Structure 1
């Protein structure tokens, strides 16, 4: 993970260096600020659409898995927009645009399905026969030992 982070930082610095050498420092700074402003506007717009889609799907009684996943990807895209650098801006914009977000959602859900089976209530564990394992339990008071006499109830005296 540290190697991936290091490669990402190197890619960001190289991209900023390349753009700054082509158009100058102030223009590069202006481009980074403009990207953050446009990205934040787009994240707010797409986030509102995703929230309405989640609510509409929930009201219809269907599973809002796709809509919630879209909302999470929009949040990640918005976060990437605010990280300074061109590589993160491009990745964030790709997550904010609906066509590329749909591809990312399919890849993400496919990866989650490989990690664990999906149950109607989310991810869970299945037995070898394919049935859901349910453990029923009961809380037992073990504060007193059965070999001794049972605990005495307090006596309330009245006049």
Structure 2
């Protein structure tokens, strides 16, 4: 992790040095400040859109995985934009723009699904609850002497 941070700092210094060499110190400072203001405005706008999308999805009863991930990526993009430097501004801008954020979100969710399946953790016993004639019945109940026998008719609404 320390090596990654060191490489990031070296890349930022090299990028700022290259831009200062091309356009000068004051214009570089102006570009960095303009990027911070533009990025913070964009982060606020996209964050509001993500919050509204989250509320709409939650109200409709659907799972808001994409909206939560969008909010997280927008927050990360806003933080990167506010850090001084061109490399962080570029990565922050990529996270704030909807098309590139969608690509990052899909790959992020795929990676999470591989590590922890949506149904729980690997090795965790899953239990589905099924309602039969207004009675809650667990599908995983055994047939031991001290347990109820399984129901004869199971209605599964999936």
TM interval, short-chain normalised: 0.7 to 0.9
* Aligned position for 1:12: 12
The two structures, once aligned, show a CA RMSD in angstroms of 1.5
Residue 126 of structure 1: CA displacement?
4.3
Q: 1:132 aligns with which of 126, 142, 145?
A: 126
8 Å CA contact 2:116, 2:122 repeated in 1:
no
* Aligned position for 2:40: 40
Residue 77 of structure 1: CA displacement?
0.2
TM-score after normalising by structure 2:
0.78
TM-score after normalising by structure 1:
0.77
Cα separation, 2, equivalents of 1:100 and 1:126: 31
Specify the structure having the higher radius of gyration (Cα).
Answer: 1
Q: Which runs of 5+ in 2 are unaligned?
A: 129-158
Cα separation, 1, equivalents of 2:40 and 2:31: 14
Q: Which runs of 5+ in 1 are unaligned?
A: 135-159
Report the 3-state secondary structure (helix = DSSP H, G, I; strand = E; otherwise coil) of the residue aligned with 1:38: helix
The 5 Å alignment of 1:114-125 reads: 114-119=114-119, 124-125=120-121
Cα separation, 1, equivalents of 2:40 and 2:72: 15
Moved over 2 A (4+): none
The 5 Å alignment of 1:1-150 reads: 1-119=1-119, 124-127=120-123, 131-132=125-126
Residue 133 of structure 1: CA displacement?
6.7
Cα separation, 2, equivalents of 1:133 and 1:60: 26
